[in-house]
Structures are given as structure tokens and as C-alpha cells.
Amino acid sequence: MAYKVLKQITVTILNQEHVRRDWFIDFDDDAFQKFFDGLAKETRKLGVSLKKVRNRDAVIKINSYGDLLNVVKISSSEDGNCKHCVGHIIGKSENLDILEDIKSAIFRIAFAPETIEPSSEFKKVCHNCGCGC
């Protein structure tokens, strides 16, 4: 069955330098790819196309779960939401589950983009993670 795509969302994953191993996730392994493919299939039925890209030039030092949230950027140019960190989109993580948080951020960008702070406000509260936002 063909679905009409109404919105394109790009998930950009930056490289990680781990200060602590307890927040390690391998975004290149099969488990993450399976998660992403399942999410892309789910969102496509709702008119949202997901694309995953890697930016290996940008490196985030991972010393906390908040840093891990900075590794994943989500963009939807149709809404003017460009490369927001997952943490910026969802706020506080309820369960410290990166896959759950990525999914929440994608659904928020897809279906409630008006609830995300505009870029100009984001710069005022930037957490200086080194992502260039």
C-alpha cells in the first residue's frame, strides 16, 4: 500500500567521544537500525518520511545522559525546525531511554512542532554542548 508523504524529517547522528562508558550507544549497530527502520515504517503510515544521516565531523563528548541526547539532531525544514537536539525537543527525559526519547522527539516534530521553542529562543538557553547550535 502506498502512503502519501506529507512531511520529511531528518535524524542526524553525530560522533561520540565517551568519557564514561555507561552512556554508550552504538548508532551503527543492527539493533539501532532495526529500531529506526521500524519507526520509519510506523511514521510513513502517518505521512511522515524519516531519513537518517551521520555527521562524523562533529563530535560530542559523552559524560552524561544529557550529552547523549545532544548526539541526535532532528530537523524538519517545513516547520523551520533545524537540527534541534533531542533534549531540546523533549525537555527532561522520563526514563533515560534513548530510543524512547528519539521516538518522542520525532513524533513531536512531526505532529506538534508548534510546541518547540523557536531557534532564537534556543540560542538563549543553549547548553554549550559544542554542537554549533
CATH topology of domain 7-124: Glutaredoxin (3.40.30)
Q: How far apart are CA 55 and CA 117, in angstroms?
A: 24
Domain range annotation of the chain: 7-124
Enumerate the β-bridge partners of residue 91. Answer: none
pLDDT of residue 121: 47
What's the rounded Cα separation, in Å, for the pair 105 and 38?
15
Q: What is the pLDDT along the chain (133 residues), one digit of tens a residue?
A: 566 777 999 999 999 998 877 888 999 999 999 999 999 999 999 999 999 999 999 999 999 999 999 999 999 877 666 788 999 899 889 999 999 999 999 999 999 888 887 655 444 455 555 555 5
In the prediction, which pLDDT does 130 show? 55
Q: What single-letter DSSP state applies at residue 11?
A: E
Contact (Cβ atoms closer than 8 angstroms) between residue 61 and residue 130: yes
